[in-house]
């Protein structure tokens, strides 16, 4: 599958096919200096495969996890880029999950006012969502993705064969993003999670999620209107993530979606999340999340622009106060958590 995403902020091409990492030299422009950014949780062979196709390459490995999305790691990447003598004609390649794609993309966006950054997502979450759409960022002062930029990768290389090495928990967490876009934009995709084994349709789910996100981003690249639907589950999810670093991003998004659904949809979503092994309840006082929600990027004065799902495959965007969101959180409080 090859998809073109043309936006006023820049075009990018999305190539999704099993085994395409081995064709990196053919599919990416690597006839230049290339700084490859990966993390220590990604099999090292992936970055080395890209490096073998470059005219000149340097691999930088950052620690795995959300804590790497910080100014200190950003500075180290910029230092490596300068030391490697990257010019505006050279590029960065991110090989990893959402953290690596966000971090490397943001570093590329600010180095010399912007150089190319291609992405090779290696997780379900990154392939289905994070690597597509040009959003890059680091966390700051306990707020997720507070400092960032729109910086579209010339090419996104999605090799679904890379998902075979992932632990089941990470696959399930990544699928939360596919559930998100199905629940808001494609009722048939959401129904697949209800009626079939998602693991048997992983490549299909990733491909459809990418198509849906490509369509949304093509119409609203800079998050001024329709693209806000992609924040479904993230307003509350990001607040949970800040308070509960033991949970994966997708697990927090799963929890964040539930309070934003109409009761009938919420029951269906709970059943899907149970099948995926994702959490559906939370043991954390709502007030502990209030400050983080108030600092959400979508906040305006004392309210937040929130995405609600009245029926599967549809959505609406409404302004809700922090108090409104905290009351909705009561629907997921208590009970036994997973994992």
Residue 217: is its pLDDT beyond 60? yes
Residue 105's φ and ψ, nearest 5 degrees, are -65, -40
pLDDT at 243: 83
Residue 294 has pLDDT above 80, yes or no: no
pLDDT at 64: 94
Residue-level pLDDT at 8: 76
* pLDDT value, residue 111: 97
- Each residue's pLDDT tens digit, 5-39: 777 777 788 999 999 999 999 999 999 999 999 99
Query: Could you give the percent of the chain with pLDDT greater than 90?
Result: 68
Ordered domains of the chain (ranges, CATH): 2-164 (3.40.50.1970), 171-332 (1.20.1090.10)
- Judged against a pLDDT cut of 70, whether residue 301 lies above it is answered with no
Report the pLDDT value the prediction gives residue 133, as an integer from 0 to 100. Answer: 85
**What is the mean pLDDT of the segment spanning 264-292?**
87
pLDDT score of 127 = 94
Helices (H), the chain: 24-27, 44-51, 71-83, 98-110, 124-125, 168-185, 187-195, 202-219, 234-243, 249-257, 263-276, 287-294, 322-329
DSSP state of 226: G
> Given this model, what pLDDT does residue 322 score?
82
pLDDT tens for each residue of 50-59: 999 999 999 9
pLDDT at 99: 94
Task: Output the pLDDT for position 23.
Answer: 94
Query: Highest-confidence range of 97-111, 123-137, 220-234, by mean pLDDT?
Result: 97-111
* pLDDT score of 247: 92
- What's the confidence (pLDDT) of residue 337? 52
The mean per-residue pLDDT over the stretch 306-334 comes to: 88
Which one, of 238, 259, 242, 233, lies nearest residue 326 by Cα?
259
For residue 335 the two structure tokens come to 């009970």
User: What mean pLDDT is predicted for residues 97-109?
Assistant: 96
What gap in Å lies between CA 19 and CA 22, rounded to an integer?
6
Residue 4's pLDDT is: 80
Distance CA 313, CA 266 (A): 13
What's residue 300's pLDDT? 65
pTM above 0.85, yes or no: yes
Q: Give yes or no for residue 225 having a pLDDT over 60.
A: yes
Mean pLDDT of 199-207: 91
Q: In this structure, are residues 68 and 76 in contact, taking their beta carbons and an 8 Å threshold?
A: no
Q: What is the mean pLDDT of residues 40-57?
A: 96
User: What angle separates helix 287-294 from helix 234-243, to the nearest 10 degrees?
Assistant: 120
Q: Which residues contact 196 (CB under 8 A, 6 or more apart)?
A: none
Which pair of structure tokens corresponds to residue 242? Answer: 């800040």
Mean pLDDT of the chain: 90
pLDDT at 295 > cutoff 70: no
Helix (H, G, I), strand (E, B), or coil: what is residue 281?
coil
Rounded mean pLDDT, 272-300: 78
């Amino acid at each position: 599958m090859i998809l073109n995403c043309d936006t006023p902020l820049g075009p990018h091409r999305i190539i999704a096919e099993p085994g395409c990492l081995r064709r990196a030299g053919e599919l990416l422009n690597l006839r230049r200096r290339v700084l490859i950014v990966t993390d220590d949780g990604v099999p090292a062979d992936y970055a080395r495969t890209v490096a073998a196709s470059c005219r000149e390459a340097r691999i930088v490995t950052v620690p795995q996890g959300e804590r790497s999305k910080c100014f200190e790691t950003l500075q180290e990447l910029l230092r490596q880029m300068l030391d490697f003598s990257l010019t505006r004609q050279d590029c960065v390649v991110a090989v990893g999950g959402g953290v690596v794609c966000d971090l490397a993309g943001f570093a590329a966006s600010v180095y010399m006012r912007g150089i190319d950054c291609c992405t090779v997502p290696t997780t379900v979450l990154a392939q289905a969502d994070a690597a597509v759409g040009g959003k890059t960022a680091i966390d700051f002062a306990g707020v997720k993705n507070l400092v960032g930029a729109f910086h579209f990768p010339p090419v996104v290389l999605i090799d679904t064969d890379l998902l075979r090495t992932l632990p089941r928990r990470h696959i399930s967490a990544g699928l939360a993003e596919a559930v998100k876009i199905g629940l808001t934009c494609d009722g048939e995709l959401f129904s697949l999670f209800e009626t079939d084994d998602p693991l048997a349709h992983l490549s299909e789910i990733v491909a459809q999620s990418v198509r849906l996100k490509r369509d949304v981003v093509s119409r609203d690249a800079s998050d001024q209107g329709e693209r806000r639907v992609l924040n479904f589950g993230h307003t509350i999810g990001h607040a949970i993530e800040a308070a509960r670093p033991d949970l994966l991003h997708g697990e927090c998004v799963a929890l964040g979606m539930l309070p934003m659904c109409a009761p009938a949809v919420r029951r269906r979503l709970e059943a899907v999340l149970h099948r995926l092994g994702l959490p559906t309840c939370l043991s954390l006082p709502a007030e502990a999340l209030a400050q983080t929600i108030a600092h959400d990027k979508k906040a305006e004065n004392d309210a937040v622009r929130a995405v609600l799902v009245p029926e599967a495959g549809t959505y609406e965007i409404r302004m809700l106060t922090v108090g409104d969101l905290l009351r909705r959180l009561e629907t997921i409080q208590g009970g036994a958590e997973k994992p």
